[in-house]
Structure 1
Amino acid sequence: MKATTNNKGQHKGMGNNTMLKLTAVSALAAAATICAAPVKAADLKLPPISLGAGLRTQFESTNPSGGSNTINDFNVNNARLYIGGSVTENIKLMFNTDYSSGSDLQVMDAVARFEFGDKFNIWAGRFLAPTDRANLYGPFYASNWNVYEDGVQDGYPGIVQGRQNGVAYWGTFGIAKVSFGLFDAPGTFGEGEVLTSGRVQLNFWDAEPGYYLNGTYYGAKDLLSVGLAGQTSAGKHAYTLDGLMEKKLPNGGVVTLEAEAARYDELGGYGGFNGSYIDSNGWYGLAAYLFPQQVGIGKVQLLAKYGAARFNDAQLLPLQEAPTAEYEQTTMEFNLNYLIKTFDARLSLFYKDTKLDAGLPDTTQIGVGVQIQI
Structure 2
Amino acid sequence: MEFRKLLTACVGTVLLATPAFAGPTWTFGPEDQGALKLEYKGQFQLNHRDTGGGSDDDESVSEFNFRRNRVALMGAYGKHFGLYVQTEFNEDNNITGFNVTDGDNEDFQLLDAVMRFKYNDAVNFWLGKYKYSFTRENLEACEMPLTLDRSLLIRAPLVDEGTRDKGVTLWGNLFDQKFQYRLDAMNGRNDSASAPDSAFRYGARAHVTLLDPENGHGYKGTYLGEKKVLTIGGAYQMEKDVAYSNYTAAGIGSESVDYKAWTADLFFEYPVDGVGTFTVSGAYADYDLDDAYKNDNLADLYDTGIMGINGEKNGGYVKIGYMLPNLPLQFFARSESWSLSNYNGFYDQEVDWYGGGFNYYFRGQDLKLTMELSQADFDKEGKKVFGGKTYNTEDFTTVTAQLQVIF
Q: TM-score, normalization: structure 2? A: 0.73
Matched AA of 1:147? R
Matched AA of 2:186? F
> Are 1:290 and 1:301, in contact at CA under 8 Å, matched by a contact in 2?
yes
The answer for the alignment partner of 2:402 in structure 1 is 369
> Are 2:157 and 2:310, in contact at CA under 8 Å, matched by a contact in 1?
no
Counterpart secondary structure, 1:141:
coil
Counterpart secondary structure, 1:105:
strand
Matched AA of 1:53? Y
RMSD (Å), alpha carbons: 2.6
The answer for the alignment partner of 2:356 in structure 1 is 334
2:232 is the alignment partner of 1:226: yes
Q: Relative to 1, partners in 2 of residues 1:154 and 1:255: Cα closer, same or farther, differing over 3 Å?
A: farther
The answer for the alignment partner of 1:293 in structure 2 is 326
Map 1:235-254; keep pairs closer than 5 Å.
Answer: 235-251=258-274, 253-254=276-277
Following TM superposition, by how much is the alpha carbon of 1:248 offset from its aligned partner in structure 2, in angstroms?
A: 0.3
The answer for the alignment partner of 2:293 in structure 1 is none
The answer for the alignment partner of 1:85 in structure 2 is 75
2:122 is the alignment partner of 1:109: no
> Are 2:155 and 2:162, in contact at CA under 8 Å, matched by a contact in 1?
no
Matched AA of 1:215? G
For residues 63 and 181 of structure 1, the distance between their equivalents in structure 2, rounded to whole angstroms, comes to 41
Q: Structure 2: which 5+ runs fail to align?
A: 1-26, 92-104, 241-257, 291-303, 382-392
> Are 1:277 and 1:313, in contact at CA under 8 Å, matched by a contact in 2?
no
For residues 362 and 273 of structure 1, the distance between their equivalents in structure 2, rounded to whole angstroms, comes to 23
> Are 1:244 and 1:259, in contact at CA under 8 Å, matched by a contact in 2?
yes
The answer for the alignment partner of 1:215 in structure 2 is 221
2:349 is the alignment partner of 1:343: no
Map 1:152-171; keep pairs closer than 5 Å.
Answer: 152-155=153-156, 157-160=158-161, 162-171=163-172
The answer to which of 153-162 and 120-129 deviates more is: 153-162
The answer for the alignment partner of 1:48 in structure 2 is 35
For residues 154 and 41 of structure 1, the distance between their equivalents in structure 2, rounded to whole angstroms, comes to 39
Q: 1:63 aligns with which of 26, 45, 50?
A: 50
Matched AA of 1:256? T
Q: Relative to 1, partners in 2 of residues 1:43 and 1:263: Cα closer, same or farther, differing over 3 Å?
A: closer
Following TM superposition, by how much is the alpha carbon of 1:123 offset from its aligned partner in structure 2, in angstroms?
A: 0.3
The answer for the alignment partner of 1:259 in structure 2 is 282
Q: 1:184 aligns with which of 182, 187, 191?
A: 187
> Are 1:266 and 1:279, in contact at CA under 8 Å, matched by a contact in 2?
yes
The runs of 4+ residues in structure 1 deviating greater than 3 Å are: 40-46, 154-161, 188-191, 271-274
Q: Relative to 1, partners in 2 of residues 1:52 and 1:41: Cα closer, same or farther, differing over 3 Å?
A: closer
Following TM superposition, by how much is the alpha carbon of 1:196 offset from its aligned partner in structure 2, in angstroms?
A: 0.1
> Are 1:307 and 1:331, in contact at CA under 8 Å, matched by a contact in 2?
yes
> Are 1:203 and 1:223, in contact at CA under 8 Å, matched by a contact in 2?
yes
Counterpart secondary structure, 2:335:
strand
Q: Relative to 1, partners in 2 of residues 1:191 and 1:300: Cα closer, same or farther, differing over 3 Å?
A: farther
For residues 196 and 74 of structure 2, the distance between their equivalents in structure 1, rounded to whole angstroms, comes to 31
More strand by share: 2
For residues 74 and 191 of structure 1, the distance between their equivalents in structure 2, rounded to whole angstroms, comes to 42
Map 1:34-45; keep pairs closer than 5 Å.
Answer: 45=32
Q: Relative to 1, partners in 2 of residues 1:311 and 1:50: Cα closer, same or farther, differing over 3 Å?
A: same
Q: Structure 1: which 5+ runs fail to align?
A: 1-39, 315-321
More helix by share: 1
> Are 2:125 and 2:171, in contact at CA under 8 Å, matched by a contact in 1?
yes
Counterpart secondary structure, 2:120:
coil
The answer for the alignment partner of 1:94 in structure 2 is 84
For residues 224 and 115 of structure 1, the distance between their equivalents in structure 2, rounded to whole angstroms, comes to 26
For residues 307 and 69 of structure 1, the distance between their equivalents in structure 2, rounded to whole angstroms, comes to 26
Counterpart secondary structure, 1:144:
coil
The answer for the alignment partner of 2:332 in structure 1 is 303
The answer for the alignment partner of 2:6 in structure 1 is none
Q: C-alpha deviations, 1:192-237, integer Å up to 9, x for none? A: 1111011011101110122111111111110000110121001211
For residues 45 and 302 of structure 1, the distance between their equivalents in structure 2, rounded to whole angstroms, comes to 43
Following TM superposition, by how much is the alpha carbon of 1:160 offset from its aligned partner in structure 2, in angstroms?
A: 3.5
Matched AA of 1:354? A
Q: 2:126 aligns with which of 107, 111, 123?
A: 123
Counterpart secondary structure, 2:143:
helix
For residues 39 and 310 of structure 2, the distance between their equivalents in structure 1, rounded to whole angstroms, comes to 38
The answer to which of 59-68 and 115-124 deviates more is: 59-68
For residues 398 and 360 of structure 2, the distance between their equivalents in structure 1, rounded to whole angstroms, comes to 19
The answer for the alignment partner of 2:5 in structure 1 is none
2:199 is the alignment partner of 1:193: yes
2:104 is the alignment partner of 1:75: no
